[in-house]
Structure formats: structure tokens, C-alpha cells
Amino acid sequence: MATDDRRTDGETPPAVALEGITKRFPGVVANDDVDFTVERGSIHALIGENGAGKTTLMNVLYGLYEPTEGTIRIDGQPRTFDDPGDAIAVGIGMIHQHFMLVDTMTVAENVVLGNEPTKWGGLATDRARANEETQALADRYGFDVDPTERIEDVSVGEQQRVEILKTLYRGADVLILDEPTAVLTPQEVEALFDVLEELIAEDKTIIFITHKLGEALEVADEISVLRNGELVGTVPAADATREELARMMVGRDVLLEVDKPAATRGDVVLDVDGVTVTDERGVVAVDEATFRVHEGEVFGVAGVDGNGQSELIEAITGLRTADDGTITFEGRDITSAPRRNRISAGMAYVAEDRQKRSLVMDYDLRRNGLLGRQHLAPFSDGRVIDWGATDDYVDEIIAEYDVRPPDPSADAHSLSGGNQQKFIVGREFERDPSLVVAAQPTRGVDIGSIEFIHNRLLDLRSAGKAVLLVSSKLDEVTQLSDRLAVMHDGEIVAVVDPDAVSEEELGLLMAGERPDGLDVDGARVGRSVA
């Protein structure tokens, strides 16, 4: 996608030049003397492990943080930003991974929010003019949006385009996109890349924060790598490889493709039959889901976030009550069983929201290591906790899963998100479960840790454990899964062999469309899936 004709001739100053940027927090150097330059009219990818300093560096550029040391230059001019308003005033815009849109408002109302055109001497918003200006901006950049539609009625990809339009409406020339493809189907990713090409054609400049090496290579002109707060290097995307970038990120060779050994599928461990779940609003979030997970297999669930995966997993793990259907675990009906009983029976759970569902943030790692098992051997005799056994268990997790800092007395909130995730994964995987329910198990962890977690999941599979894997990362769920269910709008629309389906076909299924000629188990496949 990247083309050499985007390069400047060297006479025009770069759109962004960060010189010697250092940002210190108490006890932490997040950015250490970083020089980062982005040419006008280019796409520059910024990659690095979790905690490498990418977001901190961009927060400095966007005015959310003041640098401890260093200089910011925009189009060659030194700038000082006290807040994001100062950055926006000189053409810096940021589109965050989690959209900041008001669902009940229209596309146009979101685009102009805070900068509304007015009428009657400023007494009222001129909605007609807001629609016209939004439509004109969308037409200029080739965005397919309807200014009058409500945000709650448009797709995730369209919501992202609204976020970009909102930033452009405020006059942004430099756009920072933070993990922009995290919640998109493959088709929506390609549509986003087309949008970026349109922006570059208008001489905009894009900074693309991502952990997906393939996307960085496809979309960017140049790629910069941060490691431990320092800039390791900047390379032309045309000359780089995934292996080279991974080595720069981690400091060692990384196995990027999953080596999945053969495994023998055994008895059914989890049987989900006709499960229907409603959400907090009383809306059906899961509609008659049916599937089985066997010993020695990874059963994957793919789909764009928000299509019922979370509610399904919460019903299986006991965090939400199913409205209909049955859930059977190792031959026992657990549909209405409390969560404690499911844990005691051998169900491990890596939750999607680690801070809300898996940790008590004010607890130290020692006490967090006990969560859900404080009444079970070897940690307790049912009355008194054996802190010695607990300490041994937590020390093993910290060492085996490289949790940093390696301090069992550290509170959970003092760890980075990636280290919180590694601790949770270690705690759940090391409980000798018969079933592991893993929802987004590698979210927020670095590429080296992803490799380790993938290998541990496959180790569990080889040991005859059943694994139910939910992931928004298509490469992860297709490489690890033996069978793959696709969810759309609360329904399991297909169960497929991940080795026999293309990414394009998966994208169509995730969008609720049926690819021509694809061999699947039927629109309501769950009832016949063994």
C-alpha cells in the first residue's frame, strides 16, 4: 500500500519532529531521549511491546503529558502544549482505540460536538448546517456515512470513520490512530486503509500505533520501534520483515507462526445447548447458542466485539444467568450453579476485562493469586488459609510467566496492564483445570509474552484439557483453534475448519453475510455441532 511518491524532497520540514523527548514518572522513565520524526504526507507506524512507551510518547505529542525534557516541533516550529486544546489548535488530532461517541446522537451531531454551527444569534444549534458540513467533509474524503443516522445504528467501521471525521472537522493535519483496527473485520480494515490513502492524498500525515506487524508493513511508509522507552530504530516499511521487526521489539528471535502439534479429541467436556442470554437492557445478546468443546481441542469463537461473545462467556463461567438452554460441564448441569462450584469442578477463566473480573486492584499479588481458590486445597483446609502454599504458588507464577516487578507484595494496580494479564493467565493455567475459558488472553501483552501464552494453551490442549478461546485477533483464533465458531448479532452463524476458510470468508461471516460456496454447518449450526 505504501508508495515512495509520498516522500518529501528534504526541503520541507517534517510534519512532526520530537527531539530528545524524555518523560519521567515517579520511579519510571517512560520515554528516554527519544527522537521521532514523521514526514509530511506519510503514514508512520509506531510499534513496540506493552509498556515500551508508545502511548506515553503520543500523549506528549497530543498535549496530555508535558515532557520532562525535549522539544516538540510541528512543521519545523517549536511548540509547547499545556493540554490537548493546544495540540488541536496546531493541527494535531488523536483517534483513540475506544471510541468517544454519543450513541444516542446522530453522526453529524457527534462530528460537530463542541464546535456546533449555530443560528438565532448563537441560541440554538443549526442542525441542517451541521448535516451539510458533515456531508461535505465526508464527500471530500470519500467516506460513506449518513449524517442523520444515530451512532447506535451504524457499524463499528462507520463509527471509526465518524471519529476520523470529527478530528478532521477540528482542522487536524496530523492524525494519531491508536490501535485503529482492534475492533474491525478484515473488510473494515481494508476500508480503513482506503480511507488513510484518501487522507494522504490530501497531504494529511498519519501516525499509526499498532501491535500488528503485518498491518504496519502493509500500510506504513516508515516504521519506528520503541523498546523499554527508547527508540530502537526507524526502518522503511518496504525493506522490513515481520521477523526483523519482532526482533527489534523484543531483543530476540520470536516464533511468529503457531506450531500446532497433532492432538486427539476426546470426550465432551463442555456442552452448550440452546443458550439464550439477555443483557442489562433486556435485549437478547446471545440467541440459542449451541456447541460442544472436547478434551484435547481448542474451540475458538470469533466475531467483532459486541456481538454476544462476552455475554456467552459470562453465562458459561457463572457471571451471568442464562435465560434459556442448558450448560453441561463434565456431565453435570451447571446452568444455574454458582461460580464457586464451577471453579471447584475445574473450570479456569481468563476474563476479558482483567481489572473488573480477574483482579482486586488494591490486593497484592499474593492475595490475588488466591482468588476463587481460597477455600480449596492446597491453599486452605476450608477454615484456615495456608499462606506457605500460597506463597509457593504465587512465586511460581511470577517466575514462570515473567511478571514484573517480581514482587508478590506488589499491589495489582502498580503493575502495567500487560503484567497484570500475565499474572492472571499464570494463575488460571496453573490450576490444573479440565476446561480453560480464555477470553482475549493476549490482550495488552507484548509479542514475546503472546508467543509464551500461545504455547501454554497448546500445552494444555496436548495434555487433554479442553480450551474455549474467544479472541478478536483473527490470526490468533485461526492459528490456535481446531474448530472455529463465528458469532454475529448474538447468533453462531457458522462453525468452520479454520484451516479451510479464508480471512475474507471469515470477515463476511463476522459481518453477517454468507460466503458463496463455503462449507459450514448451517445458519443455526449449533444444534448439529458435535
Query: Helix (H, G, I), strand (E, B), or coil: what is residue 488?
Result: strand
Cis bond leading into 405, ω under 30°?
yes
Confidence of residue 527 (pLDDT cuts 50, 70, 90): very low
Identify the structural domains of the chain with CATH numbers, from first to last: 4-91+173-250 (3.40.50.300), 101-166 (no CATH), 255-346+435-530 (3.40.50.300), 356-432 (no CATH)
Please state, for a pLDDT cut of 70, what percent of the chain lies above it: 94
- pLDDT tens for 244-253 read 998 998 888 7
How far apart, in whole angstroms, are the C-alpha atoms of residue 248 and residue 226? 8
Q: Are 158 and 99 in contact (CB under 8 A)?
A: no
Average pLDDT taken over every residue of the chain: 89
Amino acid 526: pLDDT: 35
Q: What is the 3-state secondary structure (H, E, C) of 201-234?
A: HCCCEEEEECCCHHHHHHHCCEEEEEECCEEEEE
Res. 449: pLDDT tops 70: yes
Amino acid 305: pLDDT: 80
- pLDDT tens for 60-71 read 999 999 999 999
User: How does DSSP classify residue 355?
Assistant: I
From residue 318, alpha-carbon distances to 233, 439, 440, 522 in Å are: 47, 14, 18, 29
Amino acid 358: pLDDT: 92
H or E stretch at 387: helix 387-400
Query: Helix (H, G, I), strand (E, B), or coil: what is residue 181?
Result: coil
Amino acid 444: pLDDT: 66
Residue 289: CB atoms within 10 Å: 28
